Protein backbone atom coordinates (compact mmCIF):
# COMPACT_ATOMS: atom_id res chain seq x y z
CA UNK A 1 0.00 0.00 0.00
CA UNK A 2 1.43 3.34 -1.06
CA UNK A 3 -0.44 5.54 1.40
CA UNK A 4 -3.46 6.38 3.48
CA UNK A 5 -5.30 9.70 3.73
CA UNK A 6 -7.47 10.18 6.78
CA UNK A 7 -9.10 13.43 7.80
CA UNK A 8 -10.97 13.04 11.07
CA UNK A 9 -13.31 10.17 11.94
CA UNK A 10 -14.54 9.55 8.36
CA UNK A 11 -13.62 6.83 5.89
CA UNK A 12 -10.02 6.07 4.92
CA UNK A 13 -8.93 6.72 1.34
CA UNK A 14 -6.07 4.49 0.17
CA UNK A 15 -4.01 4.25 -2.99
CA UNK A 16 -1.49 1.68 -4.19
CA UNK A 17 1.61 1.65 -6.38
CA UNK A 18 -0.57 1.53 -9.54
CA UNK A 19 -2.29 4.79 -8.47
CA UNK A 20 -5.54 2.92 -7.88
CA UNK A 21 -7.63 4.63 -5.20
CA UNK A 22 -10.03 2.83 -2.89
CA UNK A 23 -12.09 3.68 0.18
CA UNK A 24 -12.21 1.31 3.12
CA UNK A 25 -15.50 -0.21 4.30
CA UNK A 26 -17.55 0.55 1.20
CA UNK A 27 -20.09 -1.88 -0.21
CA UNK A 28 -19.90 -3.61 -3.59
CA UNK A 29 -23.06 -5.03 -5.16
CA UNK A 30 -23.55 -7.18 -8.24
CA UNK A 31 -26.37 -5.94 -10.44
CA UNK A 32 -27.99 -7.91 -13.23
CA UNK A 33 -30.22 -5.16 -14.63
CA UNK A 34 -30.34 -1.39 -15.02
CA UNK A 35 -33.21 -1.42 -12.52
CA UNK A 36 -30.87 -2.99 -9.93
CA UNK A 37 -28.38 -0.17 -10.50
CA UNK A 38 -31.05 2.51 -10.20
CA UNK A 39 -32.42 0.97 -6.99
CA UNK A 40 -28.94 1.17 -5.42
CA UNK A 41 -28.49 4.72 -6.75
CA UNK A 42 -31.75 5.82 -5.10
CA UNK A 43 -30.78 4.03 -1.88
CA UNK A 44 -27.55 6.07 -1.85
CA UNK A 45 -29.37 9.33 -2.60
CA UNK A 46 -31.64 8.74 0.42
CA UNK A 47 -28.55 8.48 2.65
CA UNK A 48 -26.94 11.75 1.54
CA UNK A 49 -26.86 14.67 3.93
CA UNK A 50 -28.50 17.78 2.43
CA UNK A 51 -28.79 21.30 3.87
CA UNK A 52 -29.73 24.75 2.59
CA UNK A 53 -27.63 27.91 2.28
CA UNK A 54 -27.80 31.22 0.40
CA UNK A 55 -26.86 29.73 -2.99
CA UNK A 56 -28.85 26.50 -2.92
CA UNK A 57 -31.91 25.26 -1.01
CA UNK A 58 -30.84 21.61 -1.17
CA UNK A 59 -27.05 21.54 -1.23
CA UNK A 60 -25.25 18.25 -0.76
CA UNK A 61 -23.27 18.19 2.47
CA UNK A 62 -21.62 14.83 1.79
CA UNK A 63 -19.50 13.56 -1.09
CA UNK A 64 -20.83 10.58 -3.00
CA UNK A 65 -19.60 8.28 -5.75
CA UNK A 66 -21.28 5.71 -7.93
CA UNK A 67 -18.79 3.34 -9.54
CA UNK A 68 -20.04 1.05 -12.31
CA UNK A 69 -18.00 -1.84 -13.66
CA UNK A 70 -19.56 -3.53 -16.70
CA UNK A 71 -18.27 -6.90 -17.87
CA UNK A 72 -19.09 -8.29 -21.31
CA UNK A 73 -18.34 -11.97 -21.91
CA UNK A 74 -18.27 -13.48 -25.39
CA UNK A 75 -20.62 -16.48 -25.37
CA UNK A 76 -18.52 -18.51 -27.82
CA UNK A 77 -15.27 -17.77 -25.93
CA UNK A 78 -15.76 -17.33 -22.17
CA UNK A 79 -12.12 -16.25 -21.80
CA UNK A 80 -12.82 -13.16 -23.91
CA UNK A 81 -14.02 -10.57 -21.38
CA UNK A 82 -14.25 -6.82 -21.94
CA UNK A 83 -14.36 -4.68 -18.77
CA UNK A 84 -15.47 -1.03 -18.70
CA UNK A 85 -15.57 1.28 -15.68
CA UNK A 86 -17.48 4.50 -15.07
CA UNK A 87 -17.27 6.58 -11.90
CA UNK A 88 -19.76 9.38 -11.17
CA UNK A 89 -18.82 11.81 -8.40
CA UNK A 90 -20.91 14.39 -6.54
CA UNK A 91 -18.70 16.72 -4.50
CA UNK A 92 -20.37 18.29 -1.48
CA UNK A 93 -20.65 22.06 -1.56
CA UNK A 94 -19.25 22.45 -5.07
CA UNK A 95 -21.58 25.33 -5.98
CA UNK A 96 -19.94 28.47 -7.32
CA UNK A 97 -21.42 31.88 -8.01
CA UNK A 98 -20.86 33.33 -11.47
pLDDT (tens digit per residue) in 12-64: 778 887 877 777 777 788 999 999 999 988 888 787 766 666 666 666 667 77
Q: Is the pLDDT of residue 67 over 90?
A: no
Q: What is the average per-residue pLDDT within 60-71?
A: 80
Closest CA relative to residue 47, chosen from 71, 25, 30, 65: 65
Q: Give residue limits of the domains in the chain.
A: 1-28, 31-98
Q: Of residues 47 and 87, which shows the higher confidence score?
A: 87
Q: What is the average per-residue pLDDT within 2-21?
A: 65
Q: What is the average per-residue pLDDT within 59-77?
A: 84
Amino acid sequence: MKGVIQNGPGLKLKWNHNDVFSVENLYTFECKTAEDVMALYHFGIKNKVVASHNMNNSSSRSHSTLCLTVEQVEVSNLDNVVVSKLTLVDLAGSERSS
